[in-house]
Amino acid sequence: MLLQNRVNKKELKKRIQEESIKRITVSFYRYVIIDNPQEVRDSLFLLWNALKILGRIYIAHEGINAQMCVPEENWEIFKYNLNQDPLFAGIPFKIAIEDDGKSFYKLTIKVRAKIVADGLDDDAFDVTNVGSHLTAKEFNQAMEDPETIIVDMRNHYESEVGKFTGAICPDADTFREELPMVIEELKDKKDKKIIMYCTGGVRCEKASAYLKHHGFKNVSQLHGGVIDYVRQIKAEGIESRFIGKNFVFDERVGERITDDVIAHCHQCGTSCDTHVNCANDDCHLLFIQCEACAEKMNGCCTPECMHIASLSVEEQKALRKGRKKENSLSVYKSRLRPNLKDVLEGLNLKKE
Active site residues: 198
Q: Which amino acid is at 255?
A: E
Task: Give me the phi and psi of 76, to 5 degrees please.
Answer: -65, -35
Q: What is the DSSP string of 54-104?
A: EEEEEEETTEEEEEEEEEGGGHHHHHHHHHHSTTTTTPPPEE-SS--S-S-
Residue 327, sorted as left (phi over 0), alpha (psi -120 to 50) or beta, turns out to be beta
The rounded distance, in Å, linking the Cα atoms of 186 and 24 is: 39
Q: Are 323 and 279 in contact (CB under 8 A)?
A: no
Q: Are 301 and 278 in contact (CB under 8 A)?
A: yes
Give CA 205 to chain center in angstroms. 15
Angle at Cα 316 formed by Cα 311 and Cα 322, nearest 5°?
Answer: 155
Closest CA to 91 of 111, 118, 115, 63: 63
Task: Give me the phi and psi of 240, to 5 degrees please.
Answer: -80, 125
DSSP letter assigned to residue 338: T
The rounded distance, in Å, linking the Cα atoms of 60 and 74 is: 26
Q: Are 176 and 148 in contact (CB under 8 A)?
A: no
SS3 192: coil
